[in-house]
Structure 1
């Protein structure tokens, strides 16, 4: 005979265990330790916690928040760094800067490249492949929008002169540094190389026995001096020598290097994900949040080669604020002024025309022209 059911059999949830009252309170994680995100790969985060490398995942409570390379995060769980250990990222610290880009100028989705970097290093080859000023302009715009300084690193100076690009970007306050390949090692009477480096038969850049291209030491040291004590993110097209430069700056990095296609003039992408590398320079110092760096002074963040740098997220007014002198002048512009070359009654033109002499007019005109080139880049009217 079947049992007759009554109201005592009713359950508001299908689980036989009943239901527990839900709470919006979240644990404080007072025992969390701080780590630096140095790499991200398929949902797993490599962190530097004190002096050890820790693997972690994102806690569910973070929802759609995403940690990126350069983030300072709070992590709980197993942070020993031993094989098989896995911590949980429970908080992402407030960011001091965020470098963003979009796929193109109409894409509303912003992609965060890195966090907490204070310097963008735009790596551009002077030849093989040819430099693309539109791409450089866009990187400069994105950096200024993020409140970062910009360093333009021109590679392969043994193949072409850097003077033209210097003239384009130094008026914008962009520092320019130039690197070139090392000279071939002298050969003995039998024709064998006497040192580690040797010139390849095709007359290209000298390579060592391990297959790496070697750069002139003085140019590498000049770059190193500009990276000391800073967190610098390197961006650039594939094939411009970015990985080669990083291998010289950080000998243990062992970043893969590629070659430029002789037909298309483009390089093959070798870096597949962003990674933060310690720059082995300088005495011990405190990096903040309890992170110590006894054997390096600064961070170098390598990023995959990019073919475009969309700026849909950048507001023109925000870009203007990166140029304090021009921003002050532009306050006299009529409402809605675009500040472009065809803008009527733009105060920037009056500022140039009011120059007291030729010595003042030349740099003012160069700065306004360069700024308007960046505006054109932001508007999508320049080649990128």
Structure 2
């Protein structure tokens, strides 16, 4: 190679660019972080996580070594750094513990991508008004399927009993033996509190059913926004972010899930739901392979199983009702 003036270049004229990252090879070993404190994620906001550690609310970010590991409300995590919770401090999440339960949904029934809503919850409180708006049985059924498939205890919370009787709802779900509580506007909440004590309970419900009002009454410092029901009987979503709220006197947690208007159940199979019906599970083993256990399906043994007295027609009808809701 030559310059325009004819001077030849050799290797002495070429500068080697120094490696800006140095020559030290990257180690695959990561620090053990044995000193990490364990806390629970109670809020998620644009890459910042609120973590409760021994009563202190700590703001943390995910450590680089966690890579694409996802975290949701309810996750138990290991945290290092400044754990004082003071203003403008930032800690690091370096570990995500194994989850006991995972409550998930898909955006719709044709969406193959599951979305984890909450980790480590043990109860799902399905809030439904008895009137204004009318109960949405399709939504309730789907919530029940999601809870039962996740191993989470479902509880029905029927609000506005001063406007309508809860008996039709009780009759519909009697065969499932689901715990239920009934409230009315301005009424006592002792029965609701008794179900929440010592648990992590996810609250879910359409807008206008009184979910946020209920949470504000249970956790006075929650300040969850509430809205009104429109003239067509539809509520407007007024809260925008999910958050875990600690009950007074550390008696448990409630998790508000605004924006969860529906449960897509593409991830739930008939076998996932069957384990919540142990009285039918052994009978289903005798069905033909690939059986979906629907009414009148060729090769389904469940009707015969019930006829033999191993379960009841009401339980089988309830199971098939939930299957249709998937």
* Coarse TM-score class (shorter-chain normalised): over 0.9
| Secondary structure of the corresponding residue to residue 312 of structure 2 | helix
CA 1:350 to 1:35, structure 2 compared with 1: closer, same or farther past 3 Å?
same
Q: Which moved more, 1:96-105 or 1:245-254?
A: 245-254
| Secondary structure of the corresponding residue to residue 124 of structure 1 | strand
CA 1:7 to 1:110, structure 2 compared with 1: closer, same or farther past 3 Å?
farther
Determine the structure 1 residue equivalent to 2:210.
Answer: 241
C-alpha separation between the residues in 2 aligned to 1:339 and 1:7? 79
C-alpha separation between the residues in 2 aligned to 1:328 and 1:146? 20
Determine the structure 2 residue equivalent to 1:381.
Answer: none
Q: 151, 154, 165: which is aligned to 2:169?
A: 165
CA 1:59 to 1:351, structure 2 compared with 1: closer, same or farther past 3 Å?
same
Determine the structure 2 residue equivalent to 1:203.
Answer: none
8 Å contact 1:39–1:46 — kept in the other structure? yes
Task: Report how far residue 352 of structure 1 moved.
Answer: 3.1
Task: Report how far residue 156 of structure 1 moved.
Answer: 0.9
1:145-294 matches, within 5 Å, as: 145-181=149-185, 215-217=186-188, 220-263=189-232, 265-280=233-248
| Secondary structure of the corresponding residue to residue 240 of structure 1 | coil
TM-score (norm 1): 0.79
Task: Report how far residue 353 of structure 1 moved.
Answer: 2.8
CA 1:257 to 1:127, structure 2 compared with 1: closer, same or farther past 3 Å?
same
C-alpha separation between the residues in 2 aligned to 1:318 and 1:153? 24
8 Å contact 1:116–1:231 — kept in the other structure? yes
Q: Does residue 15 of structure 2 align to residue 67 of structure 1?
A: no
8 Å contact 1:238–1:306 — kept in the other structure? no
CA 1:17 to 1:149, structure 2 compared with 1: closer, same or farther past 3 Å?
closer
Determine the structure 1 residue equivalent to 2:321.
Answer: 373
Q: Which moved more, 1:268-277 or 1:337-346?
A: 337-346
Q: Does residue 299 of structure 2 align to residue 331 of structure 1?
A: no
1:90-129 matches, within 5 Å, as: 90-129=94-133
8 Å contact 1:236–1:305 — kept in the other structure? no
C-alpha separation between the residues in 1 aligned to 2:319 and 2:21? 67
C-alpha separation between the residues in 1 aligned to 2:260 and 2:82? 36
Task: Report how far residue 158 of structure 1 moved.
Answer: 1.0
Q: 125, 135, 138: which is aligned to 2:142?
A: 138
Task: Report how far residue 275 of structure 1 moved.
Answer: 1.0
8 Å contact 1:170–1:176 — kept in the other structure? no
Determine the structure 1 residue equivalent to 2:11.
Answer: 5
| Secondary structure of the corresponding residue to residue 11 of structure 2 | coil
Determine the structure 2 residue equivalent to 1:321.
Answer: 275
Q: Which runs of 5+ in 1 are unaligned?
A: 182-214, 281-294, 379-384
| Secondary structure of the corresponding residue to residue 277 of structure 1 | strand
C-alpha separation between the residues in 1 aligned to 2:316 and 2:281? 11
C-alpha separation between the residues in 2 aligned to 1:257 and 1:170? 31
8 Å contact 1:144–1:319 — kept in the other structure? yes
Task: Report how far residue 54 of structure 1 moved.
Answer: 0.6
Q: Which moved more, 1:244-253 or 1:339-348?
A: 339-348
Determine the structure 2 residue equivalent to 1:200.
Answer: none
8 Å contact 1:98–1:112 — kept in the other structure? yes
Q: Does residue 20 of structure 2 align to residue 52 of structure 1?
A: no
C-alpha separation between the residues in 2 aligned to 1:44 and 1:315? 34
Q: Which runs of 5+ in 2 are unaligned?
A: 1-6
Task: Report how far residue 369 of structure 1 moved.
Answer: 0.6
8 Å contact 1:121–1:152 — kept in the other structure? yes
CA 1:4 to 1:266, structure 2 compared with 1: closer, same or farther past 3 Å?
same
C-alpha separation between the residues in 1 aligned to 2:230 and 2:325? 27
Q: How many residues align?
A: 320
State the superposition RMSD in angstroms: 2.0
